[in-house]
Amino acid sequence: MMMTTRKTTVSIVAKRTTNPIRDVVDRMTVQPNPDKKLIPLSIGDPTTFGNLNTPTVFMDALCKAARDPSTHGYQNSVGTPAARRAVAKHYSTPTAPLTENDVIMASGCSGALELAFKALVDEGDNVLAPCPGFALYRTIVEGIGGTCKTYPLIPELDWQADLQKMKAMADSRTKAIVVNNPSNPCGSVYSKEHLIDILKVAQELGIPVIADEIYRGLTFSGAVFHAMADLTADVPVISVGGIAKEYLVPGFRVGWILINDRHNLFANLRGALVSLSQVILGPNSLVLSALPSIMDPEPASAEDLALIAFRKHTVSTLEKNALFVTDRLSGIEGLQVIVPQGAMYVMVGINPSAGFDFKNDMDFCERLLSEESVFCLPGTCFDIPNYFRVVFCAPDEILEEACDRLKAFCARHRAGTAVASN
């Protein structure tokens, strides 16, 4: 007897939980050009090409944990005391001190964002988030039944936030301002002054800041990273971060929330985060166990020196790549590059008056993939049309090849140049 299932529909939450990047990418049905090797510059994963590897000291600590059954059991859902202490010590400053109780370990920085939004946002509430911005803010907030109102970042001002618009869109249901610094997808790093201006808005509105600082360790020379929490004693700052980008292990799924609330305005926030973390019981115990090896090595030990060299190498590689890509793409007629100061991304504008035969940024990226086998994400994935995002983690020769292909592609698709360049 075949049953008739009464309940064949999934929940509202499931229906409204969508990942804009996946939606857009899934709509891109084209295939790479089979005659050209695929160059994926789409996903923010520094491990894609094998040129950037996590330090040996971390691998050693992970192996040790794998062979030590005492690290295989349940841990506290907000993390082991040792891991929380190591993170607190690593990020503590005299102006924004942290103790282990201010650290909530989570299943990646995405898991940290989910905990933070879940703790703050009710159905009908909203948060202010950057545009262009990381798609997950919207995914999570809309999944909860809230709204993600986006404040514009101004490309002409190195992607500074439009504070007037930010302020104007806040209402009585606004629960937080999300600030992503350094920025995905822009690669921008904000000045101290700009961050203080944002904090003033938060203070006026009487709401906390959720500071997504996952790229804090990846800032290039000339720019200085300032932690949001270091710039205010008054506004509660919920910083999220993780090891994914700086230690080149996005698959490990270990991140954290740092609670900076010196006046204890959010007295019940810690309890809420602890309760919410008890549902899935926190991140992987092997990584938690190995975390102090990279976050809190013996000062001036061989491991410490190796880690300093590792970080320097990662940042200098990314900076070199950023300069190379910026330089090469700036030389392409019709593209406009906004020089990145950190992270692993650069946004490239497609000049609408350059005579390109593309319908839009989706069309640009689809044809770039199908003709040149270079895969970049269209700006639409980040809520900003007429741009595309380039991830610049690849080795020199691959970035060079990608830029060459982009150049030929753009030349071929500009009005009047199509025949000449073919």
Which residues within the stretch 146-185 sit at the binding site for its own copies (CB under 8 A)? Answer: 172, 175-176
Among 56, 60, 46, 107, smallest CA distance to 249 is for 46
Q: Quick one: 251 or 299, whose CB is closer to its own copies?
A: 251
Three-state secondary-structure class, residue 275 = helix
Choice from 84, 194, 253, 405 touching its own copies (CB under 8 A):
253
| 129: Cα within 13 Å, side-chain hemisphere | 24
The interface region with its own copies, picked from 178-186, 285-293, 359-367, 373-381 by CB under 8 A, is 285-293
Q: Please, what sign has the CA dihedral across residues 233, 237, 240, 245?
A: negative
**In the range 350-409, which residues lie near its own copies by CB under 8 A?**
none
Q: How many residues of this chain bind its own copies (CB under 8 A)?
A: 95
Residues listed for the chain: 422
Choice from 29, 34, 35, 67 touching its own copies (CB under 8 A):
67
Three-state secondary-structure class, residue 45 = coil
Residue 38 in the binding site for its own copies (CB under 8 A)? no
CB of 148 to its own copies, least distance (A): 14
Q: Quick one: 163 or 411, whose CB is closer to its own copies?
A: 163
Residue 26 in the binding site for its own copies (CB under 8 A)? no
The interface region with its own copies, picked from 205-213, 325-333, 394-402, 410-418 by CB under 8 A, is 205-213
Among 183, 178, 176, smallest CA distance to 159 is for 183
Choice from 81, 154, 157, 234 touching its own copies (CB under 8 A):
234
Residue 272 in the binding site for its own copies (CB under 8 A)? yes
**β pairing state of 209-212 and 345-350:** unpaired
Amino acid at 253: R
Choice from 267, 300, 415, 420 touching its own copies (CB under 8 A):
267
Choice from 129, 249, 391, 398 touching its own copies (CB under 8 A):
249
- Report how far residue 390's alpha carbon sits from residue 184's, in angstroms, rounded to the nearest whole number: 11
Three-state secondary-structure class, residue 244 = coil
Choice from 248, 374, 398, 402 touching its own copies (CB under 8 A):
248
Q: Quick one: 104 or 189, whose CB is closer to its own copies?
A: 104
- Report how far residue 109's alpha carbon sits from residue 240's, in angstroms, rounded to the nearest whole number: 6
The interface region with its own copies, picked from 181-189, 247-255, 373-381, 382-390 by CB under 8 A, is 247-255
Angle at 48 between CA 36 and CA 68, to 5 degrees: 150
CB of 116 to its own copies, least distance (A): 10
CB of 358 to its own copies, least distance (A): 28
Choice from 4, 221, 353, 422 touching its own copies (CB under 8 A):
4
CB of 200 to its own copies, least distance (A): 10
The interface region with its own copies, picked from 111-119, 158-166, 309-317, 355-363 by CB under 8 A, is 111-119
**In the range 113-152, which residues lie near its own copies by CB under 8 A?**
114, 118-123, 125, 136, 139-140, 143-144
- Report how far residue 217's alpha carbon sits from residue 243's, in angstroms, rounded to the nearest whole number: 10
**In the range 306-325, which residues lie near its own copies by CB under 8 A?**
none
Burial class (CB in 10 A: 0-12, 13-18, 19+), 401: middle
Helix (H) or strand (E) holding 40: strand 39-40
- Report how far residue 266's alpha carbon sits from residue 123's, in angstroms, rounded to the nearest whole number: 20
Residue 14 in the binding site for its own copies (CB under 8 A)? yes
Choice from 29, 74, 156, 420 touching its own copies (CB under 8 A):
74
Q: Give the list of residues 6+ apart from residue 225 with CB closer than 8 angstroms, or none.
A: 181, 182, 189, 213, 216, 219, 342
Choice from 95, 99, 191, 203 touching its own copies (CB under 8 A):
203
Q: Quick one: 119 or 390, whose CB is closer to its own copies?
A: 119
365 and 381 in contact (C-beta within 8 Å)? no
Q: Quick one: 278 or 351, whose CB is closer to its own copies?
A: 278
Angstrom distances, CA of residue 350 to CA of 337, 362, 369, 392, 401: 9, 11, 16, 18, 20
Residue 55 in the binding site for its own copies (CB under 8 A)? no
